[in-house]
């Protein structure tokens, strides 16, 4: 028995071979054929599972695209309707300038309106389907800008932050998309630490891309939340839209990257945004 091109070939015994030799050769051929069949069956099983996984992912992306189109239409309609409401509330405030009770009610109405506008903005960000405008920028500088913008909320919640991002580290990506993603991650961390804690932002240049991690000292993620947190409209927060992490995931995907969710060994949750490297020439142009 020999093998050519991966297929077994039977060696036929000569005329003088006895029955025992013939049976041995036949047995060897049978064993080899069984092994080949088993290997082929295993390969077919693997390819079938891989195809099924790809089909599920394709179906998921098609559903997300449809949801994105619906969300975009609804968000635009709602935003257009909110514009005159905002104007009328502003005019009403002038008329109620000397009515404390009326102004208190108006403040509550405007707070609800701001929450609705925030939800509409998140819907528009989620449904955005533009390609990223990749440009090199200093990641540390962007993180400092974000933390400066959120400083009042950090101070109000007594949250201390640690920024471990090299000052000269360049990221080639859409800066405004990365800003939006990091702001969403930081706000999620702040929601997890209403009574104070530590916010840690770390970046690491890995072998396949840059990894930016936002970690907190909150209660961490349950198994169910970790499995579903990236799904659109999934939320564990009262009044939440469930789009924060979905937007982060969408931004990562448009850059060819991914989002990883873990719980820290010492407590709290960590979300890692992984962005693949692009052409080195862009980095060299930024450094020139």
Assess whether pLDDT exceeds 60 at residue 287: no
Q: Name the band, by pLDDT with cuts 50, 70 and 90, for residue 123.
A: low
Assess whether pLDDT exceeds 50 at residue 87: yes
Assess whether pLDDT exceeds 50 at residue 57: yes
Could you give the count of Cα atoms lying within 13 Å of 265 in the half-sphere of its Cβ?
0
Whether residue 194 is found in the same domain as residue 251:
yes
Whether residue 101 is found in the same domain as residue 188:
no
Query: Directed axis angle between helix 175-192 and helix 244-254, to 10°?
Result: 150
Structure tokens of 128? 């955005």
Inter-CA distances, 66 with 56, 126, 129, 187, 288, Å: 15, 12, 12, 27, 43
What are the residues whose beta carbons fall under 8 Å from the beta carbon of 76, sequence distance 6 or more?
124
pLDDT at position 7, please? 47
Whether residue 89 is found in the same domain as residue 139:
no
Contact between residue 34 and residue 27 where contact means Cβ atoms under 8 Å apart: no
Whether residue 49 is found in the same domain as residue 149:
no
pLDDT at position 281, please? 40
Given 129, 160, 190, the domain boundary residue is: 129
Assess whether pLDDT exceeds 60 at residue 88: yes
Please name the residue that has the structure tokens 């025992």: 20
Assess whether pLDDT exceeds 60 at residue 142: yes
pLDDT at position 126, please? 61
The DSSP H or E segment spanning 260 is strand 258-263
Identify which has the larger pLDDT, 246 or 120: 246
Q: Name the band, by pLDDT with cuts 50, 70 and 90, for residue 151.
A: very high
Ranges of H-type helices in the chain: 19-95, 100-127, 139-149, 151-156, 175-192, 223-228, 244-254, 280-287
**Residues 157-183: what's their mean pLDDT?**
93
Whether residue 89 is found in the same domain as residue 118:
yes
Assess whether pLDDT exceeds 80 at residue 122: no
> Residue 17 sits in which domain range?
1-129
Name the domain count of the chain: 2
Assess whether pLDDT exceeds 70 at residue 27: yes
Burial-class residue 263 by CB neighbours within 10 Å (0-12, 13-18, 19+). Answer: middle
CA 212, 185, 215, 149 torsion-angle sign: positive
The string over 33-51, giving b where at least 16 C-beta atoms fall within 10 Å of a residue's C-beta and e elsewhere, is eeeeeeeeeeeeeeeeeee
Contact between residue 211 and residue 272 where contact means Cβ atoms under 8 Å apart: yes
Q: What residues does 164 pair with on adjacent strands?
A: 202
Q: What is the share, in percent, of the chain residues with pLDDT greater than 90?
A: 30
Assess whether pLDDT exceeds 80 at residue 272: yes
Most confident segment among 3-12, 27-36, 48-57, 120-129: 27-36
pLDDT in tens, 62-76: 666 666 666 666 766
Assess whether pLDDT exceeds 90 at residue 139: yes
Burial-class residue 188 by CB neighbours within 10 Å (0-12, 13-18, 19+). Answer: buried
Whether residue 112 is found in the same domain as residue 214:
no
Structure tokens of 285? 């142009």
Given 96, 112, 129, the domain boundary residue is: 129
Assess whether pLDDT exceeds 90 at residue 242: no
Assess whether pLDDT exceeds 60 at residue 45: yes
Inter-CA distances, 238 with 60, 222, 242, 247, 251, Å: 26, 17, 10, 19, 25
pLDDT at position 64, please? 64
Whether residue 121 is found in the same domain as residue 139:
no
Whether residue 116 is found in the same domain as residue 148:
no
Whether residue 29 is found in the same domain as residue 144:
no
CA 226, 228, 233, 236 torsion-angle sign: negative
Identify which has the larger pLDDT, 283 or 28: 28
Structure tokens of 92? 């009403």
Whether residue 166 is found in the same domain as residue 257:
yes
Whether residue 124 is found in the same domain as residue 267:
no
CATH of the domain at 255: 3.30.565.10
Whether residue 177 is found in the same domain as residue 222:
yes
Given 112, 129, 146, the domain boundary residue is: 129
Separation between Cα atoms, residue 140 and residue 203, nearest integer Å: 9
pLDDT in tens, 165-175: 999 999 999 99
């Amino acid at each position: 028995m020999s093998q050519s091109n991966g297929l077994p070939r039977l060696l036929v015994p000569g005329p003088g071979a006895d029955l025992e030799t013939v049976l041995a050769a036949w047995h060897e051929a049978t064993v080899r054929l069984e092994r080949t069949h088993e290997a082929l069956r295993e390969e077919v099983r693997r390819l079938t599972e891989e195809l099924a996984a790809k089909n599920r992912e394709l179906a998921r992306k098609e559903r997300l695209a449809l949801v994105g189109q619906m969300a975009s239409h609804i968000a635009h309609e709602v935003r257009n309707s909110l514009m005159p409401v905002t104007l009328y509330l502003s005019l009403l405030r002038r008329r109620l300038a000397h009515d404390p009770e009326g102004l208190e009610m108006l403040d509550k109405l405007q707070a609800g309106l701001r929450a609705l506008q925030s939800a509409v903005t998140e819907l528009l960000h989620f449904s955005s389907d533009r390609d990223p405008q990749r440009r090199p920028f200093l990641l540390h500088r962007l993180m400092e800008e974000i933390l400066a913008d959120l400083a009042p909320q950090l101070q109000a919640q007594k949250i201390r932050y640690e920024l471990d991002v090299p000052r000269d580290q360049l990221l080639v990506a859409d800066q405004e998309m990365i800003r939006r993603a990091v702001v969403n991650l930081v706000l999620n961390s702040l929601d997890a630490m209403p009574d104070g804690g530590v916010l840690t932002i770390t970046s690491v240049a890995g072998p396949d891309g840059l990894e930016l991690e936002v970690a907190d000292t909150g209660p961490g993620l349950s198994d169910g939340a970790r499995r579903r947190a990236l799904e659109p409209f999934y939320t564990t927060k009262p009044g939440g839209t469930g789009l924060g992490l979905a937007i982060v995931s969408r931004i990562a995907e448009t850059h060819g990257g991914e989002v990883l969710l873990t719980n820290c060994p010492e407590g709290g949750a960590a979300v890692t945004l992984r962005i693949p490297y692009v052409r080195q020439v862009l980095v060299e142009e930024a450094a020139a």
